[in-house]
């Protein structure tokens, strides 16, 4: 199985459209939606675009998805405004997503996909996290490859038998090079960056209009 992993869209519709156009060219078996889809400028639009993929999409719930499902109380980006843009059915969909999934990936075997860590949707794991924290977060995990998001930074790290991968954020990356960050899995792992045109103007609602443009890093 080949998997395109898209994490932390955060309501960035132009970035999502550009990435999905590139994903279509790759024709993976699964599009893994790694959480925090709707907390941003285009909450409902991003959610419905990904839902239009049907059974090709496999979902993991992020911390912002959980907060929006609860009505969007003020939690930074996952605030009351974003919650108000979603219908009750859309919020219920987000709230019902699983915290993690395991997929059999070509060349990697069973891979655990979660949002922040295998034990939490808010835990911070980075390339510089102490080994003791990483060991605790991975305790009891049988899969050798663990993929997560939440920190919006792309990195790879090995610890003992484990390989930990963060593809970075599609909609709000913390990176020197601008673009939408995601990952292709199978066979092996290939980090990706899709560039898209910068904002051109604000529409009548104060949201930014873009024209996506796709390139490969």
Q: 159 vs 208, which has greater pLDDT?
A: 159
The three-state DSSP-derived secondary structure of the chain is: CCEEEECCCCCCHHHHHHHHHHHHHHCCCEEEECCCCCCCCCHHHHHHHHHCCHHHEEECCCHHHHHHHCCCCCECCECHHHHHCCCHHHHHHHHCCCCEEEEEECCCEEEEEECCECCECCCCCCCCCCHHHHHHHHCCCCCCEEECCCCCCEEEEEECCEEEEEECCCCCCCCCCCCEEEEEECCCEEEEEECCCCCCEECCCCCEECCCCCCEC
Q: The domain 3-111+168-209 is classified under which CATH number: 3.40.50.150, 3.40.1350.10, 3.30.390.30, 3.60.21.10? A: 3.60.21.10
| Least confident span in 57-66, 98-107, 203-212 | 203-212
Q: What is the mean pLDDT of residues 63-78?
A: 74
Residue ranges covered by each domain of the chain: 3-111+168-209
130-141 pLDDT per residue, tens: 999 999 999 999
93-107 pLDDT per residue, tens: 999 999 999 999 999
């Amino acid at each position: 199985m080949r998997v395109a992993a898209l994490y932390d869209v955060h309501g960035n519709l132009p970035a999502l459209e550009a990435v999905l156009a590139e994903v279509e060219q790759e024709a993976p078996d699964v599009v893994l939606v790694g959480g925090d889809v709707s907390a941003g400028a285009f909450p409902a639009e991003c959610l419905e675009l990904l839902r239009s993929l049907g059974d090709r999409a496999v979902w993991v719930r992020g911390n912002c998805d959980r907060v929006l499902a609860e009505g969007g109380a003020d939690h930074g980006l996952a605030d009351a405004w974003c919650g108000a843009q979603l219908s009750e059915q859309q919020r219920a969909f987000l709230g019902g997503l699983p915290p993690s999934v395991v997929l059999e990936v070509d060349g990697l075997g069973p891979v655990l996909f979660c949002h922040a860590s295998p034990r939490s949707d808010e835990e911070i794991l980075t390339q510089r996290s102490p080994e003791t924290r990483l060991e605790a977060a991975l305790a009891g995990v049988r899969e050798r490859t663990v993929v997560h998001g939440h920190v919006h930074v792309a990195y790879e790290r090995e610890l003992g038998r484990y390989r930990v991968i963060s593809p970075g954020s599609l909609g709000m990356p913390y990176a020197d090079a601008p673009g939408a960050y995601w990952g292709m899995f199978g066979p092996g792992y290939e980090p990706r960056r899709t560039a898209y045109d910068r904002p051109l103007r604000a529409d009548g609602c104060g949201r930014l209009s873009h024209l996506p443009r796709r390139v490969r890093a």
